[in-house]
C-alpha cells in the first residue's frame, strides 16, 4: 500500500511559556509524514523548500524512510516560514507571521509512481494547490484534507470547492465554528458533512477529538499530561497517526476509524512532550502501542 502526503515544509519560530525556538524544522507535511512513517509504507512526500532548507532536515526525513522524489528545491528561494506564540493557556495561539516564500509560486508535480497512491493526505496548504494535487492522481481509496483559519478566512470559496473532493476533513474546534458559522460542534459537524466530506474529525486540543460520520459520533480523550512543552504540529501529527494507521490496516470501517482516532491522539501526545519534531524523533512502535493501551484504560469503566 502507499500514502501520499502533500503540505508545507517550514522553518518555525515558536514561543511557549516554557521556551523559544528559532527556525526549527516544522510544516504540516513534515509532521504528518513523520507520524505516519511509524505505521505506513511507503510514505511519499510532495512539497517545496528553498535553498536555505537545512541538510539535517533532509537527513531526518530520509532516516524515517520518507520518500522525497516529489520534494522540489528552489535554490534561489526561501523556505516557508511561520511563527507562533502560545499563551499560558496552551490552547490559545497567536500567529506572529506567515511568510509563504517558495509556496507562493509552488506548482505541485506528483511523480508518476505516486499518482496511484491508495491513501492521500493533503496537509494545510492553499486549497487551490490541494486541488492541483487531486487533479493529478488516480482515484485513491481515501482522501484526507486539513486546513486552518488562514485559508477559511482568506480563500473560503476555493476551500469549499476543494472540500467537495475530501472523504475526511480534519479541523480544530474554532475552525469548525468559523467554517460553518455554527457554535454547536455537533451541528457544525452535520453542516460540514453536507459540504462534501463524509467523515469529520474535530480536534479539541487537551480535550481530545470528536469523530463525526452519518452513523457515528465518537469522542476520544486526550492523554492526560503534566508536561506539555510545545503544541505546534499536534494537529498534523494527529492526522499522520490517523491516516498512517488506516493505511497500515487498510480498513475504513467505523470501528477502525475509532482506533485511528486513538492512534492519532497517541502520536499527538508524543509530539507535544518536546519542542518541534523532537517528540517524534525516537519513538518505537512498541512505545506507541503502550500509549494506545493507556488510552483504552483511560476510558474503560
Q: Tell me: does residue 205 bind ligand AMP (CB under 6 A).
A: no
Cβ atoms 44, 2 nearer than 8 A: yes
Q: Tell me: does residue 124 bind ligand AMP (CB under 6 A).
A: yes
Q: Which is nearer to ligand AMP, 2 or 237 (CB)?
A: 237
Backbone angles phi and psi of 249, in degrees to 5: -90, -20
Query: Is the bond preceding 39 in cis, omega lying within 30 degrees of 0?
Result: no
Rounded to whole angstroms, the Cα distance separating 61 from 17 reads 28
Burial letters for 111-128: b for 16+ Cβ neighbours within 10 Å, e otherwise?
Answer: eeebeebbbbbbbbbbbe
Q: What angle do CA 223, 297, 240 make, to 5 degrees?
A: 45
User: Contact region for ligand AMP (CB under 6 A) — 4-12, 174-182, 210-218, 244-252?
Assistant: 4-12
Q: Which is nearer to ligand AMP, 25 or 260 (CB)?
A: 25
User: Contact region for ligand AMP (CB under 6 A) — 107-115, 183-191, 219-227, 234-242?
Assistant: 234-242
Q: Tell me: does residue 26 bind ligand AMP (CB under 6 A).
A: yes
Report, in Å, the least distance between residue 191 CB and ligand AMP.
22
Q: Tell me: does residue 10 bind ligand AMP (CB under 6 A).
A: yes
Q: Tell me: does residue 232 bind ligand AMP (CB under 6 A).
A: yes
Q: Which is nearer to ligand AMP, 3 or 125 (CB)?
A: 125
Binding test (CB under 6 A) with ligand AMP, winner from 8, 13, 16, 37: 8
Give the footprint of ligand AMP on residues 146-185 (CB under 6 A).
Answer: 150
Alpha carbons within 13 A on the beta-carbon side of 61? 27
Binding test (CB under 6 A) with ligand AMP, winner from 98, 174, 213, 249: 98
User: Contact region for ligand AMP (CB under 6 A) — 36-44, 133-141, 204-212, 228-236?
Assistant: 228-236
Q: Tell me: does residue 67 bind ligand AMP (CB under 6 A).
A: no
CA distances from 161 to 128, 169, 175, 210 (A): 9, 13, 17, 24
Size of the site for ligand AMP (CB under 6 A): 16
Q: Which is nearer to ligand AMP, 2 or 204 (CB)?
A: 204
Q: Which is nearer to ligand AMP, 93 or 118 (CB)?
A: 93
Cβ atoms 273, 9 nearer than 8 A: no
Q: Which is nearer to ligand AMP, 26 or 50 (CB)?
A: 26
Q: Which is nearer to ligand AMP, 82 or 270 (CB)?
A: 82
7, three cell numbers = 503540505
Backbone angles phi and psi of 225, in degrees to 5: -125, 140
Binding test (CB under 6 A) with ligand AMP, winner from 235, 240, 244, 264: 235
Q: Which is nearer to ligand AMP, 79 or 117 (CB)?
A: 79
217, three cell numbers = 459520533
Report, in Å, the least distance between residue 149 CB and ligand AMP.
9
Please give the order of strands across the beta sheet that includes 209-212: 66-74, 43-50, 3-6, 119-122, 142-146, 168-172, 199-203, 209-212, 217-220
Pairing of strands 199-203, 209-212: antiparallel
> Contact residues for ligand AMP (CB under 6 A)?
8, 10, 12, 26-28, 82, 98, 124-125, 150, 232-236
Amino acid at each position: 500500500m502507499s500514502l501520499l502526503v502533500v503540505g508545507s515544509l517550514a522553518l518555525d519560530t515558536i514561543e511557549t511559556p516554557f521556551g523559544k525556538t528559532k527556525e526549527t524544522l516544522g510544516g504540516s507535511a513534515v509532521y504528518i509524514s513523520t507520524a505516519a512513517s511509524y505505521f505506513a509504507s511507503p510514505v511519499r512526500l510532495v512539497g517545496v523548500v528553498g535553498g536555505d532548507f537545512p541538510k539535517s532536515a533532509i537527513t531526518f526525513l530520509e532516516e524515517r524512510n520518507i520518500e522525497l522524489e516529489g520534494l522540489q528545491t528552489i535554490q534561489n528561494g526561501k523556505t516557508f516560514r511561520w511563527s507562533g506564540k502560545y499563551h499560558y493557556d496552551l490552547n490559545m495561539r497567536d500567529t506572529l507571521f506567515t511568510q509563504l516564500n517558495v509556496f507562493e509560486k509552488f506548482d505541485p508535480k506528483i511523480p508518476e509512481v505516486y499518482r496511484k497512491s491508495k491513501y492521500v493526505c493533503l496537509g494545510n496548504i492553499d486549497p487551490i494547490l490541494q486541488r492541483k494535487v487531486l487533479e493529478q492522481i488516480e482515484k485513491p481509496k481515501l482522501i484526507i484534507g486539513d486546513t486552518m483559519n488562514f485559508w477559511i478566512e482568506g480563500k473560503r470559496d476555493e476551500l469549499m470547492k476543494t472540500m467537495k473532493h475530501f472523504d475526511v476533513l480534519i479541523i480544530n474546534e474554532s475552525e469548525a465554528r468559523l467554517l460553518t458559522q455554527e457554535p454547536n460542534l455537533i451541528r457544525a459537524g452535520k453542516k460540514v458533512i453536507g459540504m462534501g466530506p463524509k467523515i469529520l474529525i474535530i480536534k479539541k486540543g487537551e480535550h481530545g477529538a470528536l469523530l463525526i460520520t452519518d452513523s457515528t459520533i465518537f469522542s476520544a480523550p486526550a492523554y492526560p499530561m503534566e508536561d506539555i512543552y510545545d503544541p505546534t504540529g499536534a494537529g498534523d501529527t494527529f492526522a499522520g497517526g490517523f491516516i498512517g494507521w488506516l493505511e497500515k490496516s487498510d480498513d475504513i470501517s467505523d470501528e477502525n476509524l475509532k482506533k485511528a482516532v486513538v492512534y492519532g491522539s497517541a502520536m499527538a501526545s508524543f509530539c507535544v512532550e518536546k519542542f518541534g519534531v523532537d517528540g517524534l524523533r525516537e519513538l518505537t512502535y512498541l512505545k506507541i502501542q503502550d500509549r494506545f493501551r493507556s488510552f483504552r484504560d483511560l476510558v474503560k469503566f
